[in-house]
Chain A
Amino acid sequence: MNLRYVVPASLLISSILFTGCAKNNAEPALNKSTTSETVATNTNPSQSTASPDLQPAIDQYRSYVIEQCDLFVKETEKFTTAVKKGNLEEAKALYAPTRMYYERIEPIAEALGDLDPNIDARDGDVDPSEWRGFHHIEKALWEDGTTKGEEEVADQLLKDAQLLRAKVETVDINASMLVTGAVELLNEVSSSKVTGEEERYSHTDLYDFAANVEGAAKIYELLKPELQKKDADLEKDIGERFASLQKELAPFKVNDAYVSYEVLKEDQIRKLSQTLDALAEPLSNMGTILGV
């Protein structure tokens, strides 16, 4: 998603952090400083540039994003509390399921400046002095087998999660973001989850994998009625291929938990990757509903 919010973080933080409803405060500031070619500049989301038929989908997606964000903050609080209390096993158990709320809406978070690296950077993604967030704690939990020394990181992570929740209100979602966001979610899987690089200590990559796919499926579900009108074959194709991918993933889920990525054999990984590519190809043509 080619969104570049150039709002200085300090400005936003001062105005919206910890406020219950940040929308009214933040929106004017945001709209003055966004780059106009990628983001619609109108202040009222209901006056989007998208065709009016897509507005219900956009509104529903906004609700979905906020709902996921709410749950994300809630679960992150449980996770960081476990870390701070030194409950190693509880923290490990909460780690992957908590992240799923984030992974479902990752492209939206990525559109919000530094939030994504602060929450989700892997070792080596950022300067070591700035590295924090989930993967910092992941390394401590699995590699070092301790929660010690992660207390501050945990506090910061919760704050970052809350900031995400506050900022997400301000994102002006348009139809194009929906369409590209769905593909981006699958690209996330292709480029880091399939390779097992995302969760290099916990090997919980399949949780992220599944969550990214669920996030893309949500967008498809919302756009389905319009897509059906515009290109029924394409809609059918995408639906079938989501089903194939779910079918490929299913055997790796046992009692609501995904198996460790280390268990997967090379040919199983390749099959997952190719099934994902098979889905992403028609999915990338959903933009057809946007016209020319």
Chain B
Amino acid sequence: MEQDKQNDVQSNLMLNKKLSRRDMLRLAGVGGVGLLLGGGAIGSILSSEIKTKSSPSTSLNQDPDSIPFYGAHQAGIITPSQNFICFAAFDVIADNVSDIRKMFQKWTTASASIASGSLIGNVNDNPNLPPSDTGEAAELSPSRCTITFGVGPSLFDARFGLQNKRPPSFQELPLFKADSLEPEWCGGDLCVQVCADDLQVAFHAIRNLARIARGTAVLRWTQEGFQRSAQADPKSATPRNLLGFKDGTANPDATDSTLMNEVVWSQSIDGTSWMTGGSYMAVRRVRMRIEVWDRSTLSDQENTFGRHRHTGAPLGSKDEFDTLKLDEVDSKGQPVIPTNSHVALAHGDGSIQMLRRSYSYSSGMDLKTGQLDAGLLFISFQRDLQKQFIPIQQRLANNDLLNEYAVHKGSAVFACFPGTTEGGFIGETLFGRI
């Protein structure tokens, strides 16, 4: 047993696998990295450290704080939500696919390093050069960092000859009633969604990816977001939005792979082979009229959502996860859950689902009004925007009581690629391996 572990560690090293920042420190702490490179009689020093950290069959890389970057699907879609998000939309300034491909290759390598908690690149010690990693995440836990890439409908215009690759049902969203979109919060040729349990780790990822993109793509808009942290909510209850209500109760179960194949992952029968195993993202920057909401009564607030604020239960029910009884009426014959409440409209007849993965945002103050610029960075993943996000959003936009307190300022959709394996790169199914 003990010997196996030693071999495991050594073979990892022999294979030149990247050590995580923490592993490196741990190893450096006990014997010095120099010893490792020498191989040989290092087992006894290492094994006592490894034993406490991993089970016999696992390698150094299986850190509970590290979510593997490589896989059939991209991480950050059905991954349980982390505490923070740094979201960035990019516009491509290059004029050819080859440059985009190169950037995605570099992005993939860098992202795999970030996810494992290693420094990006190998130029981090040359005094004559800027370090390839900007350094603010050095020696930090990878913090379950996931990086998810997608492309917007605008990438399929005439610039790159990709017109024929656009999935037929993938296009800019229609304008919804009451949309108050501002161009600076809309669209993008590409998106990068970084989520992590540490904001500095997440920022580090966006910053370095934007750096790698220089000359090929430029930032179009960015938004940071947060949720209550796991530390503040050890029981991992459904998170509350900034209006104080639980948000995400009715989300489909992301651990149910059959359901995810129905709701989230694009399938080969959907007709766009490069997206098989990927997912379509809708992202909306929803400003909340915090000040107005704060002076509305509790019963108004609860009628707006159709749920009790304290428990998150549907109006008239006790438990958060009680079934919605939309046809229930009170003694006066009125629906217990108002038909134009958020939950009633979002649920509809229950036939359409999507996976929501939203974060709250706070972006300081609106200089014009002196009010808080805060709200929801709504994100949902689905197999088909036309069949899922759009009909649901249409119902909400037309009638939702919540529209009095929330206004959609930003909007974009992205086709998020399937995952890739080591040696490949995200986007290879669209841009081709050359």
Chain B hits for A291, CB < 8 A: 128
Chain B hits for A285, CB < 8 A: 129-130
Q: A275 — nearest CB in chain B belongs to which residue?
A: B93
Answer whether A290 and B128 are a contact pair too, CB < 8 Å, given A274-B93, A278-B93: yes
Interface SS majority for chain B: loop
Chain A hits for B125, CB < 8 A: 292
Tell me how far the C-beta of B434 lies from the nearest C-beta in chain A, rounded to whole angstroms: 16
Cα–Cα, bound, A284→B130 (Å): 7
- Asked if A287 and B129 sit within 8 Å, CB to CB, the answer is yes
Q: Give a binary string over B208-247; 1 marks a CB under 8 Å from any A CB, 0 the rest.
A: 0001001100100000000000000000000000000000
Tell me how far the C-beta of B110 lies from the nearest C-beta in chain A, rounded to whole angstroms: 14
Answer yes or no: B164 CB below 8 A from chain A CBs.
no
Chain A residues numbered 269-292 whose CB sits less than 8 Å from any CB in chain B: 274-275, 277-279, 281-282, 284-285, 287-288, 290-292
- State the total of A-B contacts with C-beta under 8 angstroms: 34
Chain B residues numbered 91-138 whose CB sits less than 8 Å from any CB in chain A: 93, 125-130
Answer yes or no: A90 CB below 8 A from chain B CBs.
no
Chain A hits for B214, CB < 8 A: 277-278, 281
Tell me how far the C-beta of B59 lies from the nearest C-beta in chain A, rounded to whole angstroms: 31
Answer yes or no: A221 CB below 8 A from chain B CBs.
no
Tell me how far the C-beta of B218 lies from the nearest C-beta in chain A, rounded to whole angstroms: 5
Chain A hits for B129, CB < 8 A: 284-285, 287-288
Tell me how far the C-beta of A164 lies from the nearest C-beta in chain B, rounded to whole angstroms: 28
Chain A residues numbered 234-292 whose CB sits less than 8 Å from any CB in chain B: 237, 241, 274-275, 277-279, 281-282, 284-285, 287-288, 290-292
Q: How many chain B residues touch A (Cβ–Cβ < 8 Å)?
A: 11
The winner among B125, B130, B211 for most chain A CB atoms within 10 A is B130
Answer yes or no: A202 CB below 8 A from chain B CBs.
no
Cα–Cα, bound, A131→B215 (Å): 39
Tell me how far the C-beta of A35 lies from the nearest C-beta in chain B, rounded to whole angstroms: 16
Answer yes or no: A179 CB below 8 A from chain B CBs.
yes
Tell me how far the C-beta of B121 lies from the nearest C-beta in chain A, rounded to whole angstroms: 11
Answer yes or no: A49 CB below 8 A from chain B CBs.
no
Cα–Cα, bound, A244→B374 (Å): 39
Chain A hits for B215, CB < 8 A: 237, 241, 278-279, 281-282
Interface size class of A (residues with CB under 8 A): 10 to 19
Q: A280 — nearest CB in chain B belongs to which residue?
A: B214
Answer yes or no: A48 CB below 8 A from chain B CBs.
no
- Asked if B126 and A292 sit within 8 Å, CB to CB, the answer is yes
Cα–Cα, bound, A284→B280 (Å): 37
- Asked if B218 and A274 sit within 8 Å, CB to CB, the answer is yes
* Other-chain contact of A287, B93, B126, B211 (Cβ < 8 Å): B126
Tell me how far the C-beta of B85 lies from the nearest C-beta in chain A, rounded to whole angstroms: 24
Q: Give a binary string over A196-208; 1 marks a CB under 8 Å from any B CB, 0 the rest.
A: 0000000000000
Answer yes or no: A176 CB below 8 A from chain B CBs.
yes
* Other-chain contact of A176, B93, B126, B128, B130 (Cβ < 8 Å): B128
Chain B hits for A279, CB < 8 A: 215
Q: Give a binary string over A155-183; 1 marks a CB under 8 Å from any B CB, 0 the rest.
A: 00000000000000000000010010000
Chain B hits for A287, CB < 8 A: 126, 128-130
Interface SS majority for chain A: helix
Cα–Cα, bound, A291→B128 (Å): 7
Tell me how far the C-beta of B374 lies from the nearest C-beta in chain A, rounded to whole angstroms: 25
Chain B hits for A274, CB < 8 A: 93, 218
Q: B127 — nearest CB in chain A belongs to which residue?
A: A292
Q: B126 — nearest CB in chain A belongs to which residue?
A: A292
- Asked if B211 and A288 sit within 8 Å, CB to CB, the answer is no
Cα–Cα, bound, A201→B85 (Å): 42
Q: A290 — nearest CB in chain B belongs to which residue?
A: B128
Chain A hits for B130, CB < 8 A: 284-285, 287
Cα–Cα, bound, A288→B128 (Å): 7
Tell me how far the C-beta of B158 lies from the nearest C-beta in chain A, rounded to whole angstroms: 20
Tell me how far the C-beta of B69 lies from the nearest C-beta in chain A, rounded to whole angstroms: 24
Q: A244 — nearest CB in chain B belongs to which residue?
A: B215
Cα–Cα, bound, A176→B93 (Å): 31
Chain B hits for A176, CB < 8 A: 128
- Asked if B211 and A281 sit within 8 Å, CB to CB, the answer is yes
Cα–Cα, bound, A78→B230 (Å): 69
- Asked if A179 and B128 sit within 8 Å, CB to CB, the answer is yes
Cα–Cα, bound, A181→B323 (Å): 68
Chain A hits for B127, CB < 8 A: 292
- Asked if B218 and A292 sit within 8 Å, CB to CB, the answer is no
Cα–Cα, bound, A274→B126 (Å): 26
Cα–Cα, bound, A206→B130 (Å): 28
Cα–Cα, bound, A212→B75 (Å): 44
Q: A273 — nearest CB in chain B belongs to which residue?
A: B218
Cα–Cα, bound, A176→B222 (Å): 36
- Asked if B93 and A292 sit within 8 Å, CB to CB, the answer is no
Tell me how far the C-beta of A162 lies from the nearest C-beta in chain B, rounded to whole angstroms: 35
Cα–Cα, bound, A279→B214 (Å): 8
Chain A residues numbered 12-70 whose CB sits less than 8 Å from any CB in chain B: none
Cα–Cα, bound, A292→B124 (Å): 11
Q: B130 — nearest CB in chain A belongs to which residue?
A: A284
Chain A hits for B218, CB < 8 A: 274, 278
Q: B125 — nearest CB in chain A belongs to which residue?
A: A292
Chain B hits for A241, CB < 8 A: 215
* Other-chain contact of B128, A237, A277, A278, A292 (Cβ < 8 Å): A292
Beyond the given A284-B130, A292-B128, could you list 14 further A-B residue pairs with CB under 8 A, ordered by the A residue number?
A: A241-B215, A274-B93, A275-B93, A278-B93, A279-B215, A281-B214, A284-B129, A285-B129, A287-B130, A288-B126, A290-B128, A292-B125, A292-B126, A292-B127
The 14 sampled A-B contact pairs (Cβ below 8 Å) are: A176-B128, A241-B215, A277-B214, A278-B214, A278-B218, A281-B214, A282-B215, A284-B129, A287-B130, A288-B126, A288-B128, A288-B129, A290-B128, A292-B128
Residues in chain B within 8 A of chain A (CB atoms) = 93, 125-130, 211, 214-215, 218
Closest 10 CB pairs of A and B: A278-B215, A287-B128, A290-B128, A281-B214, A274-B218, A287-B129, A278-B214, A284-B130, A292-B126, A277-B214
